[in-house]
Amino acid sequence: MKLFAIPVTKRHTLIYAHRLTSPDPKTLKTWEVWHDKVTGKAAKMWIEWGKDKDSTWNWKHRTVTIGNKILDNIPYTEYSLRTIPARPRNLSNTSTPILYPPSLLKPHHISPLATSTLLSLLPYHRKWMWLNVVLSPLTAPFALLPVVPNIPFFVMAFRAWSHWKAMVGGKHLRALVENGELKPTPVKELEEYYKEVAKEPLPDKFWETSNGVNEDLEIILDEARIPELSDTLGCPEIAPELYRMITQLRKERDRKIVEIEGTNADKGVITEIKEEVDKRVANGENKTEAVVDEVAEKHFSSGMEKAEKEKKEKQL
């Protein structure tokens, strides 16, 4: 196994595990054999459902469509941990290479990066794994529905498995960090896939600093060349994970910008209310209760006029 550390923004780096060879079936434990069989069968069934448009009420195709949207909203960090396999027993004195672009990351970044971005999530995955396990029996009444199987149960079972898989991968990563088994390996070829904005070393503890939403969440990876990057790494499976991560980071950026703009707008209204109250008190007016309603109505009318103006401009 080898790991990749691919910076996507100045504060977010994808850590992805790639198996160099398939495990020997003879060395697998019984539960691992059954795990591979069940997950393989489930993946095959999911693909078949996506193609099936002849089922009653078209429930199979609809389930896959909705399910894929849910899958895309699962945090990229969870997918990242799930790529790391369970740690074999009695494994010691081994080194696992982790490839990174040397102009952006430095060797001393690697261990704290893994610890801060992924290992801190282990309690979260443990908690939600058990919650899904405990609550899944409550979906039993859905089994009474005709034709359609107990979808809520399968959703909760999948989420329990996903959290468990992330927890197992996280424990393996923690062992690699604690035992000093991670071997930072610079790969100069990775640097050509970054925009000019990224052609400088990232500062120490860059994942803990904040220089504003736009800078923190600015995509520095060249998206157009992600397929080429995955070929260079010899890992085509990493491309969907990079696209998913970029999509989620863009949504996070947009959400934070809206929050900041809303907060600034609220601060402006509060300031205006205070100024108006002070003004009326200075003029000898005692009744200031209506100030809030008056200012709110003013901003509401202003917002309506602005929306109407934008609507007319679009029509033109």
The string of DSSP codes covering 267-306 is: HHHHHHHHHHHHHHHHTT----TTHHHHHHHHHHHHHHHH
In this structure, of 11-20, 90-99, 245-254, the range with the lowest mean pLDDT score is 90-99
What is residue 12's three-state secondary structure? coil
Domain boundaries, the chain: 2-257, 262-315
State CA 116 to chain mean position distance: 15
CA distance 299 to 74: 38
* 112 neighbors 205 (Cβ within 8 angstroms): yes
CA distance 31 to 178: 27
93 φψ region: left (φ > 0), alpha (ψ -120 to 50), beta (else): left
Most confident of 171-175, 187-191, 279-283: 171-175
What was the pLDDT predicted at 75? 92
* Tens of pLDDT, residues 127-158: 999 999 999 889 888 777 776 788 888 889 99
DSSP, res 161: H
* 279 neighbors 46 (Cβ within 8 angstroms): no
* Angle value at C-alpha 176, between 171 and 181, nearest 5 degrees: 170
Closest to 176 in 3D by CA, of 27, 17, 31: 17
What was the pLDDT predicted at 160? 93
Helix axes 151-178, 59-72, angle to 10 degrees: 30
Contacts of 47 (CB under 8 A, 6+ apart): none
Q: When comparing pLDDT for 46 and 181, which is higher?
A: 181
What was the pLDDT predicted at 30? 63
Most confident of 121-135, 214-228, 257-271: 121-135
Place 93 in a pLDDT band, splitting at 50, 70 and 90. low
Place 196 in a pLDDT band, splitting at 50, 70 and 90. low
**Arithmetic mean of pLDDT over the chain:** 77
pTM listed for this prediction: 0.72
Q: What residue spans of the chain are helical by DSSP H?
A: 30-51, 59-72, 76-82, 110-117, 122-135, 151-178, 213-216, 226-233, 238-282, 291-315
Contacts of 142 (CB under 8 A, 6+ apart): 150, 151, 152, 153
* Tens of pLDDT, residues 218-240: 788 888 889 999 998 988 999 99
Closest to 167 in 3D by CA, of 197, 125, 213, 218: 125
CA distance 203 to 156: 41
